[in-house]
C-alpha cells in the first residue's frame, strides 16, 4: 500500500503555533489522520511532539523579497 503525505521524513518544516522550525522524524497514522513526529530545540533543550498536517507549514527558503528603498 502507498500513502501520499504532504511532508516527508527528514524534511524541515515550520510550526506556526510555536514560531520555530523543526525536523520530521517519523509519521504515524492516528485516529485523526496522518500525524508527524517533529523534533525541535527550545533554549538548548530537545523537544518532540506529534502534529497534524494542518498544524505545519512548508519552509520555502527560495522566496525572494522584492521592493525598493526610500532613502
Residue 60 has a pLDDT of: 79
Residue 69 has a pLDDT of: 65
The CA distance from 55 to 64, in Å, is: 24
Residue 11, CA atoms < 13 Å, CB-side half-sphere: 18
Instruction: For cell 492516528, name the residue.
Output: 30
Measured CA angle at 62 (ends 2, 38), to 5 deg: 45
Domain spans, the chain:
12-58
For the entire predicted model, the pTM comes to 0.77
pLDDT for residue 5 is more than 70: yes
pLDDT for residue 71 is more than 80: no
2: cell is 502507498
pLDDT digits (tens, 9 = 90+) for 29-51: 988 889 999 999 999 999 999 99
Average pLDDT over residues 12-25: 96
Amino acid at each position: 500500500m502507498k500513502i501520499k503525505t504532504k511532508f516527508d521524513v527528514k524534511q524541515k518544516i515550520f510550526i506556526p503555533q510555536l514560531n520555530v522550525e523543526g525536523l520530521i522524524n517519523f509519521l504515524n497514522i492516528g485516529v485523526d489522520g496522518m500525524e508527524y513526529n517533529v523534533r525541535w530545540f527550545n533554549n538548548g533543550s530537545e523537544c518532540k511532539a506529534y502534529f497534524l498536517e494542518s498544524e505545519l507549514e512548508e519552509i520555502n527558503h527560495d522566496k525572494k523579497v522584492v521592493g525598493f528603498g526610500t532613502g
